[in-house]
Amino acid sequence: MRKRSAPNTEAPQNDRQFVTALSRGLDVLRAFRPDDRAGLSNRDLASRTGLPNSTVSRLTYTLMQIGYLLYDEQTGRYSMGVPVLSLGYACLGAMPIREAAKDQMQKLADYAGDGVQVALGARDGPTVTYLACARATNGMVSLQLGVGSRISLARSAMGRAYLAASKEAERVEILAELAEHHGPERWPAIYKGIQSAATQIAERGFYANYGEWHEGVHSIAVPFASSSDGAPDLAFNLGGPAHFLPRERMEDDLGPRLVMMAQALRLHTRQM
């Protein structure tokens, strides 16, 4: 059985089983971001999804009728309805590794100290979505990311760690999609970073990213491939402002600790 943790939402040619209308409706829901507090108009959604305005209008009307979207008549904007939340919690609840990892992630975050965040994530198209986060309990400054936040698959430490452990056929497919997404001018440099991540992980078990995702942010990541076709591949990362995470500490201390945490969780999941 072939695993597809983040399938291509474009309709496969001549695939009678593929329901295009359903795919497009889900694209509309996926277009919303955590910081869209003011909601999105049909025009906003058409811009983000690439769908025609008329198609978006029909989809938002349908999603509103069944409660997945709420409509503000004063602003003409839509926001997520409560039923969407149940889908997210159902997804998280089906990942026992998330609960098993929480304590270990918190211990590592507390050890790393102020400004550091430890996260678990999985691929979502050209991004990685955070599934769990831990911050130092006494931390005053930290990355403002939480469960549901999406970061770049191609440029982040977590995304590159995910790619390093993906199966060859899946990786070829993902890289082709990413090359198209980022364009010919940006892709060569990004691809070089992806190759470097794979080399580092093969040699020492973790990948260190110094400002390639965001200037002034240092992060390390390790892959956590699933042993089941029914579960997504994952990756762990640890990151924060560069002044909290000097290169020597990242590579000599925190990187090996992140690897050991992932190894311990791998052993734990085999015993579950």
For the chain, where do the domains classified as CATH 3.30.450.40 start and end?
A: 95-271
C-beta separation of 49 from 24 below 8 A:
yes
Q: What is the distance between the alpha carbons of residues 149 and 239, in angstroms, rounded to a whole number?
A: 14
What is the pTM for the complete model shown?
0.78
For the chain, where do the domains classified as CATH 1.10.10.10 start and end?
A: 20-86
The model's pLDDT over 149-173, given as tens digits with 9 standing for 90+, comes to 889 999 999 999 999 999 889 899 9
In CATH, 95-271 is 3.30.70.1230: no
The model's pLDDT over 40-73, given as tens digits with 9 standing for 90+, comes to 999 999 999 999 999 999 999 999 999 999 999 9
Backbone dihedral angles phi then psi of residue 263, each to the nearest 5 degrees: -65, -40
What 3-state DSSP class applies to 98?
helix
Q: What is the distance between the alpha carbons of residues 251 and 266, in angstroms, rounded to a whole number?
A: 22
Number of C-beta neighbours around residue 15 at 10 A:
9
Q: What is the distance between the alpha carbons of residues 237 and 206, in angstroms, rounded to a whole number?
A: 9
| Residue range 71-80: mean pLDDT, rounded | 93
Q: Whose CA is closest to 41, among 8, 17, 74?
A: 74
The model's pLDDT over 98-152, given as tens digits with 9 standing for 90+, comes to 888 999 999 999 999 988 999 999 998 899 999 999 988 765 555 667 888 889 9
Q: Which CATH class is domain 20-86?
A: mainly alpha
C-beta separation of 6 from 123 below 8 A:
yes
Token pair 């997520």 is at which residue? 80
